[in-house]
């Protein structure tokens, strides 16, 4: 993909919202999360159903899911 071209990513924040976030090609997961205004905090972030680090570069059409961490006992 050409650097600088605008892409669109779907962001699902479980329990809150489904967003479509435009961003430049080459944007990191952290940059996308910031552009979407989502507070990650104690949440896991997956791209296309796989856990990814925040420096992972998102691609056009990716599905990003922000999942609250569940702790039990």
10 or 57: whose pLDDT is higher?
57
- Structural domains in the chain, sorted by start: 6-60 (3.10.20.30)
**47 versus 6: which is more confidently predicted?**
47
pLDDT digits (tens, 9 = 90+) for 14-65: 777 788 888 898 899 999 988 888 877 767 889 999 999 989 999 998 999 9
Pairwise CA distance, residues 26 & 2, whole Å:
9
Helix (H) or strand (E) holding 34: helix 29-36
Q: How far apart are CA 9 and CA 60, in angstroms?
A: 6
Confidence at 13, pLDDT banded by 50, 70, 90: confident
Question: What are the residues facing 8 on neighbouring strands?
Answer: 22
């Amino acid at each position: 993909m050409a650097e600088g071209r605008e892409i669109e990513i779907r962001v699902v924040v479980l329990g809150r919202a489904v967003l479509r976030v435009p961003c430049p090609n080459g944007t990191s997961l952290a940059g996308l999360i910031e552009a979407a205004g989502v507070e990650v905090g104690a949440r896991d972030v997956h791209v296309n159903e796989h856990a990814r680090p925040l420096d992972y570069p998102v691609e056009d059409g990716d599905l990003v899911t922000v999942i609250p961490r569940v702790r039990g006992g």
